[in-house]
Copies of this chain bind each other. A is one copy, B any other.
Amino acid sequence: MLTALLFCGAFTAVAKDRISKQTAECLECHSSTTTGIVKQWEKSAHWSSGVGCYECHKAEKTDADAMDHYGFTVAIIVSPRDCGQCHAKETAEQEASHHAKAGDILNTKDGILGQTVGGEPAVAVACRQCHGSIVKVNADGTLDTGTWPNTGIGRVNPDGSKGTCSACHTRHRFSKEQARQPETCGKCHLGPDHPQKEVYEESKHGILYRAFKDDMNMDKSKWVSGEDYFDAATCATCHMSATRNQGVTHDVGTRLSWDLRAPVSKRTANSPEKLKAMKDVCSSCHAGPFVDGFYKQLDEFVEFYNNKFAIPAREIRALLIKEGVLTKANFDDKIDWIYWELWHHEGRRARHGAAMSGPDYAWWHGIYEVAKHFYTELLPEAKEACEKAGKPEVYKQIIAKYIDGRKEHEWYTKGFDKKRIQEMKKYYQERYQQKVD
């Protein structure tokens, strides 16, 4: 114990030696004004490496967001470019990733839904908190509060760099363990339109993570699946972390062989290579036939979603627009909303549920909703719209092309198979003594 204390004291002293004079000055005030962040930092690898306040926050006078702070030239925002001074590989990977571009979708061309149907203040506290803002610097060097505080993963920084490392590596502890936790990804990857967090929690991977997290060496620098941990896969395991055959990457899309985001799913660019990288992760714990069988089921499911619902729904809406039944404008017809949620919410839930082994999301939150709304909203609404427009023949054309004669929609026009209904009723009677109507 005495040894431990001595060692501890010695280590602190060494670390203190390493702390720059400037950082020591920062700490003079900040140890009492914002104690929390100082104490977080004292637990970080930065602390033991002597990387302190000044090393990260120092700025050049010419920097857009430079400000004088008690004689020091500093900036509030530490951008990936700043982090990249030490973490060059990670920053480069991050810059090449979809994550770094997440702000574009809101700030440059899209975000129309949020900004018009919603409004600017909603975009600030909602969309941009995940996607990232374009941080504006006021004339006096302070940050514009419409665009900051913001740690969205695609933030466009005053230095022009894109992204923010602290979106995942939360300041000021910058813990590897925390960054690897599924909850970290769940900051943004959740909810009605991409419930990856919820799907993960339902999956065996999530169940095992909850059970065995403490055995998983989450804080190790070297964190190779099947070697340093083996009880569960986290988001990081599959999408970023090392296996015995491949290194860690901060470009999160490199193992994704399907685009499950789009209205109609298609393979990503270089998908065979990406699929191979992902299967390599799976094989830390799963044998070949399991992995191949899993992907066969997934592929067939995605094709099924595309062909039974997504493509017909898209084409039906396009036809209604072409024939003048609907306007070309977005979100001004009921069908615009139905179609939008069908693919953007329900169809994604279905596909993510299937891809990440969350059966409840694949079915009840997914295909069940897709199917229900396809049959009970999209088609009836199309019919009504055609009738109102005085063009009932357009609806007949739709039914002829997309429904009649297609085996998978037979129940809709001819009803459920009567023999199976009888069997089902008998089954309920026998098992549950329940009369089913």
Contact = CB atoms under 8 A, between A and B. Distances in A.
Given A36-B230, A301-B121, A431-B104, A314 B148 contact: no
A405 interface: no
Interface stretch (A8-16, A89-97, A370-378, A395-403): A370-378
A332 interface: yes
21 contacts: A34-B226, A34-B287, A35-B244, A36-B225, A40-B285, A76-B289, A104-B431, A105-B427, A109-B427, A117-B371, A118-B367, A118-B368, A119-B308, A122-B350, A124-B301, A126-B362, A146-B300, A181-B207, A191-B365, A337-B372, A337-B376
Contact of A297 (B105, B149, B191): B149
A45 to B, nearest CB: 15
Contacts of A296: 145-146
A424 to B, nearest CB: 5
Interface of A: 33-37, 39-40, 43, 76, 101, 104-105, 108-110, 112-114, 116-122, 124-130, 142-143, 145-146, 148-149, 151, 170, 173, 175, 177-178, 181, 183-184, 186-188, 190-193, 201-204, 206-208, 210-212, 215, 225-227, 230-231, 244, 259, 261-263, 283-287, 289-290, 292-294, 296-298, 300-301, 303-304, 308, 314, 317-318, 321, 327, 329-332, 334, 337, 350, 353-354, 357, 359-360, 362-368, 371-372, 375-376, 408, 410-412, 415-417, 420-421, 423-424, 426-428, 431-432, 434, 437
A337 B368 CA distance: 12
Q: Lowest 10 CB-CB distances: which A-B pairs, in order?
A: A36-B285, A126-B363, A109-B427, A129-B359, A329-B415, A126-B362, A36-B230, A121-B304, A178-B211, A145-B293
A108 B423 CA distance: 9
Contacts of A108: 423, 427
A215 to B, nearest CB: 8
Given A283-B34, A297-B121, A366-B126, A262 B230 contact: no
A434 B367 CA distance: 23
Nearest to A357: B129
A142 B286 CA distance: 16
Which of A127, A130, A437 has most B Cβ within 10 Å? A437
Nearest to A371: B117
Given A127-B359, A421-B112, A427-B104, A230 B148 contact: no
B36 A226 contact: yes
Given A143-B293, A183-B201, A261-B432, 20 more contacts: A34-B283, A35-B226, A37-B286, A40-B231, A101-B431, A116-B416, A118-B367, A119-B304, A119-B308, A120-B304, A124-B297, A124-B301, A126-B353, A126-B359, A149-B294, A170-B204, A175-B211, A186-B201, A334-B376, A337-B372
